[in-house]
Amino acid sequence: MSWEKEVEEIKRRRSLSEGLGGPDKIQRQRDAGRLTVRERIAGLIDKGSFREVGQLGGVGEYDADGALTGVMPANILFGRAKIEGRPIVVQADDFTVRGGAADASLHAKLLQSEKLAGEYRMPLVRLIEGTGGGGSVKTLEKTGYTYVPEVPGWEVMVENLSRIPIVALGLGPVAGLGAGRQVMAHYSVLVRGTAQMFVAGPPVVAAVGEHRTKEELGGSSIHAQNGAIDDEAYSEEHAFALARAFLSYLPSSVHELPPRAASNDPVERRDESLISAVPRDLKMLYKIRPIVEAVVDKGSFFEIGCQHGTSVATGFARLDGYAVGVMASDPMVLGGLWTAASSRKVERFVDLCDTFHLPIIHLVDVPGFLIGRKAEEEATIRFGSRAMMAIYQAKVPICAVILRKAYGMAGSANMNHSRHKWRFAWPSGDWGSLPISGGLEAAYKSDLAASDDPAALLKDIEKRLNDVRSPFRTAEKFGVEDIIDPRDTRPMLCEFAEAAYRLLEVGEVKKGWRC
């Protein structure tokens, strides 16, 4: 006697599960310009690699004789899969089933997917839409009682941030617990136009007198600019590509080093554009991204958070195949001044690199912290000091290349000065506690007042001080370790990357990871 009947029942139930919320709900999803949950999983992972866990979970419907007549599947799917041959865990919301609300959720599936990823040291990708298993007012009538709120498994999500890479892709409206899961990630993306994120959606917000559309309340551009998410995607397929690219630079867990990729870009390549990349006139601006592209492996720069804290560009890149983090001042934005927003961005990025053992390249042109009333209102000094703290706490090596300015506290945050200073400067280097132009007249106020020709004296003082601030004077006193031909930057950085990987240690970073 065989178990063929039961095996056929397994197939039937799986088929019912694959029907998602039914043809009408699937069509509604597509009419909104969004993929179904299984189409999303297929678009993200290596073909045929998905191994679903708990596919039979859901709410069964039975007739009077106890025979199954239908199944409402749980609105969260998860399973093991691969990206570029490397194992991952995929956790995906199904909006076609009750809009992701709690009364169609199996919270155990959400919790088990987080545990699977954390315990088995696999990156986790969340495909989020809806409340992500959050509350539904309609649920109260069914259960007959309410409860003191708690988030099942939140402690596991927190622990996972210090263990494994986590990517969150918002692929439709994301609210409540879904929004919490969206931002509790190392890399968070919303799809422009079809995905929004809010603590509570327009109907709830309207109850307090604020009437907004979904885009007005929580569109992707709002959150990409305020730093709640890292990037916008222009389509779901683009979001999948961003997730795959992000993960390619990181180890599967903190218990490994980042994978080294093959590189056809010669280590000794010297880009001629670098010799004139920084203008001689200090008042002239220049673009930082061409400099980044010129020194890293060709085509390897993956920028993160380009719309937030824009006076600093951050991202991953490769040097002779080694994965590194890149922080680069952008003088086109406020001259490269650190704002409260850019300081938070620096802190978060340094924590990310430190957690997953990526050495950091810091291309420095920092005139200092933003000053003025707005800077004080935004608590710039607090967030700037936290960014400096992150740099000093980081265990990974940091190589600083001073391109031009390094002034004040923000300029001093080019690296952790208590460790060996792997640092270079270009001949355009210009540094000090504050710019000469900003303090000259105040410092020599009495001399200028007593002079018969204050303008001539001021010009003479300025010349003398400009001679003193030559980067070569600093190098004479070993105040800067080396001044290099800008065209030698790539070879020097590749040498640093190779040496840095000799120093890296695997394991969890004790301070954890601040999202």
| 471 in Cβ contact with 423 (< 8 Å) | no
Nearest Cα neighbor of 248 from 162, 345, 321 is 321
- CATH class, domain 4-60+68-248, is alpha beta
Query: Concatenated DSSP letters for 81-139?
Result: EEETTEEEEEEEE-TTTGGG-GGG--HHHHHHHHHHHHHTT--EEEEEEESSS---HHH
Residue 433: what pLDDT? 60
Task: Indicate the helix (H) or strand (E) that contains 502.
Answer: helix 489-503
- Over residues 270-322, the pLDDT tens digits come to 999 999 999 999 889 999 999 999 999 999 999 999 999 999 999 999 999 99
- Over residues 308-354, the pLDDT tens digits come to 999 999 999 999 999 999 999 999 999 999 999 999 999 999 999 99
CATH 3.90.226.10 in the chain is located at: 4-60+68-248, 272-434+470-503
Tell me the C-alpha distance between 151 and 144, whole Å: 20
Confidence band for 151, pLDDT divided at 50, 70 and 90: confident
Question: According to CATH, what is the number of the domain 272-434+470-503?
Answer: 3.90.226.10
Residue 102: what pLDDT? 54
Cα end-to-end distance, the chain, whole Å:
56
């988030």: which residue's tokens?
151
Tell me the C-alpha distance between 456 and 205, whole Å: 64
**Residue 70 clears pLDDT 80, i.e. is over it:** no
Task: State the DSSP code for 219.
Answer: B
